[in-house]
Amino acid sequence: MIFFKRISDFILFGNIYVALGAVCLIQSTVIQIGSKDHLIFYSALTFFATLFVYNLQRIFYIHQKDISLNSIRRRWISENQFSIRSLCVTGFIGVAITFFFNDPKIIFYLSPLLILSIAYFLPTIKLRQNAWFKLLTLAIVWTTATALLPIILNNINLFSTKSILHFFVQLSFMVGICIPFDIRDHEIDKVDNINTLPHIFGEQKTRWIAVTIMLIYIFLIALEYQIGMLNIKTGTALLFSAIINGTLVLLSGPKRSEYFYVAGIDGTMILQGTALMLAHSL
C-alpha cells in the first residue's frame, strides 16, 4: 500500500499525469477537427515539454513557514527535489530528442509559449500576481499547444468556422478547470500576495463563474455536433466527459483533498481524450 502511494504521488506530483493530460487533449483535437494525422511526434514533444516546464516551476517553489499552508503536494515537492530535478532533466532531454522528429518550424510556434510559461512563475517577473493574467496565461498556453497548433500542423485554415469554434471549445474547457485551482490555493495565494478570482469575487461566486464557463463549454460542444465536427458517438463521449467536468468543478472547494484536484480535475483532460479516442475507435 505504501509502495503504491509512493508511485501514485510520483506520477501525480511529479507532473507525469498532467503531461499525459496534454497528450490526451491533442488527441481530442485531432478527432474533433477530423484529422487523419494523429500527431504522435508532436504529442511526444508536448508531453516532455510539459514535464520540463512544470517541474522547472517547482524548483522555484518557496516552502511556507506556516505549516498549516503546506499541503500534501507542497510537502512532497519540498521533500523530493531530487526527483523534481531528475524529471525536469528528463523532460528537457525528451524535448531535445523529439524536436528532430517534428517540423523544424515548430520552434517558431512553441517559443512564445515557453517564454510565457517561464514568465508565469519566475519571481522577478511575477506574471501570476495578477488574477486575470494568471488565469488567461495558463488557459491560452494550454489551448494554443493542444488546440491551435494541431490545427496549424494539419494545414487547416485557422479562420474557418470549425477552427475558431474548436479554439473556443478548448479555451472554455481550460478556463473552467483552471479556476478551481485558484479556489484550492486561496489561502496560500493570499500569503504570497498573489491576487486571484476568489480574492476579488469570493469563493462561492468564483465557483459559479467556473460552472457557468463549463456550461458554455457544453453549449459549444453541441455546436460542434450541429455543424458536423462530431458524430453521435464522439459527441456523446465528449458530452459525457463535459458533464463529469462540470460536476467536479461544482464540487471544488478549499477543503477538498489535493488528490481531488491533481487526480480529479487535472484528470478531466485525460478523461476527455480517452473518451473521445474510445468512441472514435468503435
The total number of structural domains in the chain stands at 1
What cell numbers appear for 128 in the block? 501570476
pLDDT tens-digit map of 32-80: 998 888 899 999 999 999 999 999 988 877 655 544 456 788 889 888 9
| pTM of the predicted model over 0.75 | yes
Which parts of the chain register pLDDT below 50? 66-68
- Element (H or E) spanning 261, and its range? none
- Please enumerate in sequence order all residues whose Cβ is within 8 A of that of 249, keeping only pairs 6 or more positions apart, or say none: 176, 177, 179, 180, 207, 210, 211, 214, 265
- Please enumerate in sequence order all residues whose Cβ is within 8 A of that of 266, keeping only pairs 6 or more positions apart, or say none: 17, 18, 21, 177
Provide the residue range defining the domain that includes 98.
2-281
Instruction: Quote the pLDDT of residue 70.
Output: 63
Main-chain phi, psi angles of 220, to 5 degrees: -70, -35
Instruction: Quote the pLDDT of residue 267.
Output: 95
CA terminus-to-terminus distance, the chain: 36
